[in-house]
Amino acid sequence: MNKNDLQQACCALIERKLGWGHSDDWQNQDFETLSAKIFEETQVVLSVSTLKRVWGKVKYDSLPSLTTLNTLAVFAGFESWREFRQRQLHQDDGEFSHAPGSDDMGLPETGAPAMPIDESQPAPDVSVESGAATRPVSEKRPPSDFQAANAHTHKAVSPRTKKAHPAWYLVPGILAVLILAGWMYNNKGPAAPKSSFSFSSEPLSNGIPNSVIFRYDAAAAGGDSVFIQQSWDPRRRFAVPPNGHTYTSMYYYPGYFRAKLIVGKEIVKEHDLLIPSDGWLAAADQKPVPVYFTRDEVRKDSALRVTAALLQNKNIPVQPQVPEIRIYNIGDMKGLRSDNFVFETELRSEYGQGSAICQKAAVLIHCENSIFLFPLSIPGCVAEMGLMLNDKAVSAKTADLSAFGCNMNEWVKLRCEVRDKKVRIWVNRKPAYADALTSEANNIVGVSYRFEGPGAVNAVKLARLDGTAVLEETFE
């Protein structure tokens, strides 16, 4: 299997994960949405043009960069491109492998915990790293150039070669069976009408952590498998009994989700689900459960602050790998829409040593099925930034995001104004970026902050264009 074959196999896994149909039918907006989803899961921006090149929509002779390949592999459910490549070469039958921890339908391994997508669990696809841990797999090495050449000039056949060749007379029969099975699978009778199914959910509390009871009726599924999927990611898909009626899941982070009831490979019902934070929530991200801080622990000196001393008190090390600190306020934002609003905040990093030298931070405005994400760091680390505007991803590799690099030891003033889908952003009262939104407006459901280590927020205001605040806090 050469590099092009590996690339196509990875694309096929991503297409299966998304469930959008074959990429031959994808339009430009599909690649924009894919770019946004990849960024949301990996915190790496792959531009639409890069994705189109990878999928062969645009002629390009060069192979993708290792960064691009690593990002695609992580999004497909692997730890890295190296792990993905090893798993493909390990397949004796030529089939591309599934993502680690999944079966033919993208399900977790037996015994794996049920984990909601993105904000709901400290899942393997959080912002800093992605991909579930897997058992080591030995790599099957391809023959060297010398061995390959030797094979064509000598009649002797190695024992391994003999073992790999089945009896030739079995091949036609095997092919016929496979073709018949594929034809029968693709020509199954029509499923029961979607109106035959029901699906609802009920959060059991108004804060985090939270359990959600899903109630469903899938008796009309017949012999098909039934799944509940908590968002767009098939890795958050769990098999349920077709004759059952209840399934309960745990949510460790707040957020907005679109839950789905799936029969076979078809979504028969879906609905929106908001998991609120019940005010301000601060946590250090770790697996399997985040470390939560009480409000008294983090409301200090007219700010919401997670300090190095607080982490030390919780026995959370800051070296060699600094923890990601998350601060949320998710809930009812009184109908504020993503195409007309004003957002202002002040924040700073409070740690810049070792692996946190870049003092990275991100400010997120959460919407229904999309986000705004504003990156910040010291100037020297701007090249790794990615800006997200609703469903539009902007990479510092191909756009000037230098204004988002600043002195992170001082309070940084960030302002975003969206007026009739036109976005303007200021950092420390200086214009930083302007653009126009291309996707449909959504309801805003809250804000969050992510820091590379200790950080603080001392002011937040989310308002309508006339200045009416729907969320305002100075932490006095």
Q: pLDDT tens, 271-298?
A: 999 999 999 999 999 988 999 999 999 9
Return the pLDDT at 164. Answer: 42
Neighbouring CB atoms inside 10 A of 170's CB total: 9
Element holding 275 (H helix, E strand): strand 266-275
**Amino acid in the structure at residue 180:** L
Return the pLDDT at 152. Answer: 36
Check if the beta carbon of residue 254 is closer than 8 Å to that of residue 281.
yes
User: What does pLDDT average to over the chain?
Assistant: 80
**What average pLDDT score do residues 265-276 get?**
90
Note the Cα 200 to chain centre separation in Å: 24
**What average pLDDT score do residues 383-401 get?**
89
- The token pair that represents 225 in the structure block: 């498998």
> Three-class SS of residue 376?
strand
> Three-class SS of residue 177?
helix
Q: pLDDT tens, 459-472?
A: 999 999 999 999 99
pTM: 0.67
pLDDT at 86 over 50: yes
Tokens 């982490």 correspond to what residue? 311
**Crossing angle of the two packed helices 28-42 and 66-76, in degrees rounded to 10:** 80
Q: pLDDT tens, 206-262?
A: 899 999 999 999 999 888 899 998 776 666 788 999 999 999 988 889 999 888 999
End-to-end CA distance of the chain: 61
**What average pLDDT score do residues 20-27 get?**
84
Q: DSSP E strands: which ranges in 165-254?
A: 198-203, 210-217, 226-229, 237-240, 246-251
Alpha-helix residue ranges (DSSP H) falling in 299-372: 308-313
Check if the beta carbon of residue 361 is closer than 8 Å to that of residue 327.
no
Rounded Cα distance, 122 and 251, in Å: 9
Least confident range from 114-123, 256-265, 296-305: namely 114-123
Rounded Cα distance, 116 and 259, in Å: 10
Rounded Cα distance, 18 and 402, in Å: 33
Considering the domain delimited by 194-275, tell me its CATH architecture.
Answer: Sandwich (2.60)
Query: Left (φ > 0), alpha (ψ -120 to 50) or beta: where does 67 sit?
Result: alpha
- Which residues does 102 contact at the CB level (< 8 Å), separation at least 6? 77, 108, 109, 234, 235
Q: Which of 79, 75, 68, 70 lies closest to 13, judged by CA?
A: 75
Return the pLDDT at 445. Answer: 96
- The DSSP code sequence of 117-172 is SGGGTT-TTSSS--S---------PPPPHHHHHHHHH-----HHHHHH---GGGHH
Asked whether the domain spanning 281-473 has the same topology as the one spanning 194-275, the reply is no
Q: pLDDT tens, 330-362?
A: 999 999 999 999 999 999 999 999 999 999 999
**What average pLDDT score do residues 13-27 get?**
86
Whether domain 281-473 has CATH 1.20.1250.20: the reply is no
- The token pair that represents 182 in the structure block: 């594929």
Alpha-helix residue ranges (DSSP H) falling in 3-117: 3-18, 28-42, 48-54, 66-76, 81-89
pLDDT at 100 over 60: no
Rounded Cα distance, 139 and 85, in Å: 9
Listed by start position, the domains of the chain span 3-100, 194-275, 281-473
Rounded Cα distance, 255 and 174, in Å: 49
pLDDT at 189 over 80: no
